[in-house]
Amino acid sequence: MNLPIYRYLFNQLKDKILRGELKPGDMLQSENELAQQYSTSRLTVRKSLSMLDNEGFITSFPGKGYYIIEPDHSKYTLLFNELNSGSKNTLYSKLLGVDATDPDATICQKLQISCDHKVVVILRLLYSNEGPIAYDIKYIPYDRGRPIVEKAIEYAALPDMVAKKSSPFAIKKELCIYIEKSNPEINKSLCLHESEPLLVVEQSLYDYENKPIGLGKTYYGGEHGKIRAYSNMRE
């Protein structure tokens, strides 16, 4: 075993928590006790404990000690990329059109711009080998001097389109998932009956000052609209 001591201690404690030997609310041994028990230094023990802290198992209170946390069961991780839907099938993207247009009121409001501000609209159809999967619309405020039509717009996800200025880390993102009851034009593009409801994933991007810099809507029809999320403290 070349397992470092801090790693070993971390595993030991995590195991006790996952097996239920240590329950939410319980207090751990003190740093000094653990250091003695595992014949190591206090700093090594602290490393293990800080890892457990980072992974959401414990908290510490100065002067008191370390305590097992009550886990938050409402938190999930959601992976979304309009061009890479769940990876069940390779997705292809077909550019239907790019336009600089006057946006309607809804879009203006969501992008927090006035109605005479031009907006670049990008329409794409996403499909797999078996046929169309989704219909995708992007709205990006048009700013003079900042060319929007980047290289390979056909194959870029929204964050990569707008993350040019400043840092790609500074972007704030939001998703909203909801139903839109049939949209004749989109349903036709997706080869669906007109009455078919669509699952919409609406993606909003904000820059460092919380100014909207992009809005994307991806419409999934039929059996393709399955959004998945997961949560697992064991890995």
Partner DNA sequence: CAGTGGTCTAGACCACAGT
Partner DNA sequence: CTGTGGTCTAGACCACTGA
Residues in touch with a copy of itself (CB under 8 A): 17-20, 23-24, 54, 57, 70-71, 73-81, 84, 157, 159-160, 163, 165-179, 181, 197-199, 208, 225-234
Q: What is the spatial distance between Cα 39 and Cα 29, in angstroms, rounded to a whole number? A: 14
Q: Which backbone phi and psi does 133 adopt, to 5 degrees?
A: -110, -45
Nearest-angstrom CA–CA distance, 41 and 32: 8
Q: CB-based burial of residue 69 (10 Å sphere; 0-12 exposed, 13-18 middle, 19+ buried)?
A: middle
Instruction: Find the part of the chain contacting DNA (CB under 7 A) among 23-31, 154-162, 186-194, 198-206.
Output: 23-31
Q: Which amino acid is at 10?
A: F
Nearer of residues 17 and 134 to DNA, judged by Cβ: 17
Residue 208 binds which of a copy of itself, DNA, none (CB < 5-8 A, kind-dependent): a copy of itself
Residue 171, contacted partner among DNA, a copy of itself, none, CB below 5-8 A by kind: a copy of itself
Can you tell me which of 16, 46, 110, 117 binds DNA, judged by CB under 7 A? Answer: 46
Q: Is 16 in the site for DNA (CB under 7 A)?
A: no
Q: How far is the CB of 215 from a copy of itself (least distance, A)?
A: 15
**DSSP assignment string, 10-70:** HHHHHHHHHHTSS-TTPBPPPHHHHHHHTTS-HHHHHHHHHHHHHTTSEEEETTTEEEE--
Interface with DNA (CB under 7 A), residue from 11, 12, 37, 41: 41
Binding site for DNA (CB under 7 A): 4-7, 28, 30-33, 39-44, 46-47, 60-66
